[in-house]
Chains A and B, each alone.
Chain A
Amino acid sequence: MDRNHHQRPRSSSSILDSLGEELIGILTPVSICMFTVVLLVCLLNSDPSSSSSFSSIATAAYSETDSDSPWDKLLGALLNSLVFVAAITAATFLLVLLFYLRCVAFLKLYMGFSAFVVLANLGGEISVLLIDRFRLPIDAVTFSILLFNFSVVGVFAVFLSRFSILITQGYLVVIGVLVAYFFTMLPEWTTWVLLVALAVYDLAAVLLPVGPLRLLVEMAISRDEDIPALVYEARPVIRNNNLVQRRVWREQRSNHNDDVENSEAVTVVRSEISVPLIDDSSSRPESSETFLEGIGLGSSGAIKLGLGDFIFYSVLVGRAAMYDLMTVYACYLAIIAGLGVTLMLLSVYQKALPALPVSIMLGVVFYFLARLFLEVFVVQCSSNLVMF
């Protein structure tokens, strides 16, 4: 078993050095996004009595008040989720229609516009809340200039495909954080039922033959084209001796991936899916954003994860943070485990898979288990300083 030792030259590397790199490349931004949302929730929600009246299309049917009975709240939450999922389905079908009619330029422009609105509008609101919380001295002119610059660079990062990869990835994470934070402001029952409803919708939209996302993917594959949408791609890294280079973006797509670095030496089928999200607040004009939902392998062998997945993972963890930190850790581990399972299924089935269902279901289950069982147990033990 150790016979290889005498053949081992000084510079040979074990397989352990580079195994699992792509997975870590996708886990790191997901973790950063979740961590930032939890931090924002902890910093900005220290006042539980002020319930901000956040109205969006997700609360159009029913707005929760504390005095309702649980049954009323459940019915209201179901109604809200149905409205939201119906709106998303309609918007996705619209997207499929536009893609079918080859209005790709319009879609790209729309994507840039929605990125600008998210960064300027939502980013500005959160910045104002943070400035208020920390009493930072800054004047309105400087603030608006900085915000404008920040948003414009973000639009370029999302729009152009040859932008610096680190900045693009950073901006995608920031967009995910901003939208996720706003979704955590929904009422509690609505959030949980909405998450479960979206997981079911994702499953149906990607796997059913009539699902809009599946139609979109098949059209994109048959035309050998990109879908214009917001997607996070973890670029793989090549290590030559001690030099670390990033693989350059390849123009043409290759169906075979025979790179030794890639641990999953499987044939790669490009798959992307997109889902629009509609966010409507009372005083603001209606804005819709186009996100990518689902998971696939990119042409350079990197794993692509849609921004919608980032957002809903962070919403789940953010909502768990509003209860206690223990539920946050439990949900974080559940989501990471779900993501790992999805990626394993991806390498087995090699087609577009929905990234939401497994993680969201595990996350919700772990949240309720942690809240009902774990917390009592742990507090009981550690308050008596009994640990194992």
Chain B
Amino acid sequence: MTVAAGIGYALLALGPSLSLFVSVISRKPFLILTLLSSTLVWLVSLIVLSGLWRPFLPLKANVVWPYALLVLSSVCFQEALRFLFWKLYMRLEDVLDSFADRISRPRLFLTDKLQIALAGGLGHGVAHAVFFCLSLLTPAFGPATFYVDRCSKVPFFLISAIIALAFVTIHTFSMVIAFEGYAKGNRVDQVIVPVIHLSAGMLTLVNFASEGCMIGVPLLYLVASLTLLHCGKMVWQRLIESRNQSGSTLR
């Protein structure tokens, strides 16, 4: 619907991540590299999934269960990949710590580790937004717009941008939760991340019903805000804990 609308949709999906990038990530070059590598990991996972599902596509319209299977398999694969990503990150952390010792600088602080996890999550989120929303946005720069039958109140570009924003939030902050959960061995955190991802994926299946996006999208935002709250609570607890720890050793 003109260039302004196209840019508007793009910013709707990626605006908060852009401000996060400019304020936090662009200050430290290492975080930019983390973001790029986690974007690449997400892209590779998507290519593998599309390669696996290619023989079965195109799926029949109006039948829900193939899509449910698709979402289930994709989420399982991506969560397994997240665990492998964390393992790789642990090795990298050892390398960085030994490098810091060698040049007699302080080791990685807690805030550094949280920032790396945030950059990793943001990479996943940005990759999701780019491939599921931005790459289909090219017609939006033209003179017309497009409506899908199942969601006829809102242009297609707008609804996909809104969904992409929710998923960016979910991916970004669940990576922080996941890294802390795996590092501390906290069962609750470890389990809650796949659960959030799966429920978010399944909620988008609600969009299959006619006008289902009216219910599906607010529920999705509920999941996103739950993720945000849980992550905030967890980070706050960790920071207080580490401050108490360092305070008690001052004696």
Place the interface of chain A in its size category. 35 or more
Q: Give chain A nearest CB distance to B40 CB in angstroms.
A: 5
Residue B105, interface by CB 8 Å? yes
B58-95 at interface with A (beta carbon < 8 Å): 58-59, 61, 67, 70-71, 74-75, 78
A9-24 at interface with B (beta carbon < 8 Å): 12-21, 23-24
Q: How far is the CA of A297 from the CA of B155 in the complex (A)?
A: 51
CB contact under 8 A between A380 and B128, given known A5-B245, A21-B29: no
Q: How far is the CA of A1 from the CA of B249 in the complex (A)?
A: 13
Q: How far is the CA of A377 from the CA of B250 in the complex (A)?
A: 57
Q: How far is the CA of A24 from the CA of B119 in the complex (A)?
A: 15
A388 near B197: Cβ-Cβ < 8 Å: yes
Q: Which of A16, A374, A380 contacts B46 (CB 8 A)?
A: A374
B110 near A380: Cβ-Cβ < 8 Å: no
Contacting chain A: which of B15-23, B173-181, B200-208, B224-232?
B200-208
Q: Which residues from chain B contact A380 at a C-beta distance below 8 Å?
A: 57-59
* Residue among B29, B33, B61, B74 having the largest count of chain A Cβ atoms under 10 Å: B29
B32 near A24: Cβ-Cβ < 8 Å: yes
Residue A135, interface by CB 8 Å? no
Residue B191, interface by CB 8 Å? no
Q: How far is the CA of A267 from the CA of B140 in the complex (A)?
A: 52
Q: Give chain B nearest CB distance to A336 CB in angstroms.
A: 6
Q: Which residues from chain A contact B138 at a C-beta distance below 8 Å?
A: 324-325
A387 near B109: Cβ-Cβ < 8 Å: no
Q: Which of A4, A379, A386 contacts B107 (CB 8 A)?
A: A4
Q: Which of A7, A15, A383 contacts B108 (CB 8 A)?
A: A15
Q: How far is the CA of A374 from the CA of B40 in the complex (A)?
A: 14
Give the total of B residues in contact with A, Cβ under 8 Å: 77
CB contact under 8 A between A387 and B167, given known A19-B29, A20-B29, A20-B33: yes
* Residue among A1, A5, A8, A372 having the largest count of chain B Cβ atoms under 10 Å: A5
Q: Which of B135, B137, B201, B207 contacts A384 (CB 8 A)?
A: B207
CB contact under 8 A between A16 and B112, given known A377-B53, A386-B71: yes
Q: Which residues from chain B contact A369 at a C-beta distance below 8 Å?
A: 47, 51
Residue A326, interface by CB 8 Å? yes
Q: Which residues from chain A contact B208 at a C-beta distance below 8 Å?
A: 384, 386
Interface residues of chain B: helix, strand, loop or mixed (majority): helix
Q: Give chain A nearest CB distance to B68 CB in angstroms.
A: 9
Q: How far is the CA of A379 from the CA of B59 in the complex (A)?
A: 11
Q: Which residues from chain B contact A3 at a C-beta distance below 8 Å?
A: 246, 249
Chain B residue nearest to A17 (CB atoms) is: B28
Q: How far is the CA of A372 from the CA of B50 in the complex (A)?
A: 9
B28 near A385: Cβ-Cβ < 8 Å: no
Chain A residue nearest to B146 (CB atoms) is: A383
* Residue among A13, A377, A380 having the largest count of chain B Cβ atoms under 10 Å: A377
Given contacts A20-B30, A23-B29, A385-B207, 9 further A-B contacts (CB under 8 A): A4-B107, A14-B106, A325-B138, A372-B54, A376-B50, A378-B50, A385-B160, A385-B204, A388-B201
Binding site for B on A (CB under 8 A): 1-8, 12-21, 23-24, 27, 260, 263, 324-326, 329-330, 333, 336-337, 340, 366, 369-370, 372-374, 376-388
Binding site for A on B (CB under 8 A): 27-33, 36-37, 39-40, 43, 46-47, 49-51, 53-54, 57-59, 61, 67, 70-71, 74-75, 78, 96, 99-100, 103, 105-110, 112, 115-116, 128, 130-138, 148, 150-151, 156, 159-160, 163-164, 167, 197, 200-201, 204-205, 207-208, 213, 216, 242-243, 245-247, 249-250
Could you list 28 examples of A-B contacts with CB < 8 Å? A3-B246, A6-B249, A8-B106, A16-B28, A16-B31, A16-B115, A17-B28, A23-B33, A24-B29, A325-B134, A326-B135, A333-B43, A336-B36, A337-B37, A340-B33, A340-B36, A340-B37, A381-B67, A382-B133, A383-B156, A384-B150, A385-B148, A385-B204, A386-B67, A386-B70, A386-B201, A386-B204, A387-B128
